[in-house]
Amino acid sequence: MGLVFLIGFGGVGLLILLNADNTLDIIGGGLFLASGIFAFSLIFYLNISSMQYYYKSSLMKKYASYKIFHITDITKEIDEESQVIRCFISINYNGLTISDLFEISIEKEHLLINLKAGMPIDVRIAEQLPSAMRIANRKLLKRLESIYSVREE
């Protein structure tokens, strides 16, 4: 697909540039050539990043397991527009600090009182690729709800 854009737009742009008689032809040819090169580069980059994403996902499915880690740091951001609270939760894995995102709706903000550093959480992690760790969001939400319900009683 990228080659189609590169050959199509880039080729037309190159032909216009080679037969340019005035400034307008040079500008038009340059725009066509630049758009072809840009489209090729964008498609190439997106293809590489897509392959990396699916490679990491397949590694996580095949080799990852759930383990319990303790939270080392929490950073909270409130997004009023989308009505969510984003919590960037960090854990320590073999001396390496790894972070992941945990989102919760603003209606459940009262549950975040229980989310503190040192709290154990379930994390899905592959030993070969620890940077691709994922927090078990549903398990964490259930744990926060159970702690909150015990506190209310």
Q: 13 or 67: which carries more pLDDT confidence?
A: 67
Is there a single domain that holds both residue 37 and residue 73?
no
Question: What is the b/e burial string over 99-138, where b = at least 16 CB atoms within 10 angstroms of the residue's CB?
Answer: ebebebeeeeeebbeebeeebebbbbbbeeeeebbebbee
Can you give the pTM of this predicted structure? 0.65
Is there a single domain that holds both residue 32 and residue 14?
yes
Range 34-44 average pLDDT: 85
pLDDT in tens, 82-130: 899 999 999 998 888 999 999 988 888 888 888 888 999 999 988 888 8
Taking 3-state DSSP, the helix, strand and coil percentages for the chain, each rounded to the nearest 5, stand at 55, 30, 15
How far apart (Å, rounded) are the C-alpha atoms in residues 98 and 8? 44
Is there a single domain that holds both residue 34 and residue 76?
no
What is the CATH number for 111?
A: 2.40.50
pLDDT in tens, 26-37: 787 788 788 888
